């Protein structure tokens, strides 16, 4: 009989990774607002000021829980779930970068901050879920 990780543990570690990424993204968000002078404000957009800081946190935590569920499914469907999870989540991270890269009228600084936020959210989630899968 195969031994599977607890779904609760996978989701918990996904949330932990997401929370870690979320805290880092909040710090980057605040730095973008005050240290960079809100680089999005000149884009014809509303700027980072219009984006509530809690969204920088929540948009890291919620995907962490989902990633834990994805790993649980892969663990039951594949013979090498860690490798498959890292492939799927790595591909998803790369695809998620298309949003910032294709923003119309975005400054280089805005794109750089948003790209960093995507990576800062994704990598700790990947770490957390894989960490949670260890027996």
- Count Cα atoms within 13 angstroms, Cβ side, for 114: 21
Cα–Cα–Cα angle for 101, 105, 108, nearest 5°?
55
Segment 108-116 long-range contacts (CB within 8 Å, at least 24 positions apart): 109/36, 109/39, 110/39, 110/40, 110/43, 113/28, 113/32, 113/36, 113/39, 113/48, 116/28
Q: Pick the closest to residue 40 from 108, 95, 121, 118 (CA basis).
A: 108
Per-residue pLDDT band at 131 (split at 50, 70, 90) = very high
Q: Which two three-digit tokens encode residue 107?
A: 């400054």
- The pLDDT tens digits of the residues spanning 34-60 come to 777 655 555 455 555 556 778 888 899
Helix and strand numbers, DSSP H then E, in the chain: 5, 0
- pLDDT value of position 29: 84
Q: Which of 54-58, 74-78, 104-108 has the highest mean predicted lDDT (pLDDT)?
A: 74-78
């Amino acid at each position: 009989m195969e031994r599977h990780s607890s779904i609760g543990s996978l989701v918990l570690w996904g949330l932990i990774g997401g929370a870690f990424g979320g805290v880092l993204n909040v710090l980057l968000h605040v730095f973008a607002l005050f240290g960079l002078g809100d680089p999005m404000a000149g884009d014809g957009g509303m700027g980072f000021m219009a984006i509530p800081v809690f969204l920088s946190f929540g948009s890291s935590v919620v995907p962490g829980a989902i990633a834990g569920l994805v790993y649980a499914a892969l663990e039951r469907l594949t013979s090498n779930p860690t490798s498959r999870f890292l492939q799927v989540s790595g591909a998803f991270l790369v695809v998620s970068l298309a949003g910032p890269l294709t923003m119309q009228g975005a400054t280089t600084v805005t794109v750089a901050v948003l790209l960093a936020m995507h990576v800062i959210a994704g990598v700790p989630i990947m770490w957390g879920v894989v960490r949670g899968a260890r027996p």
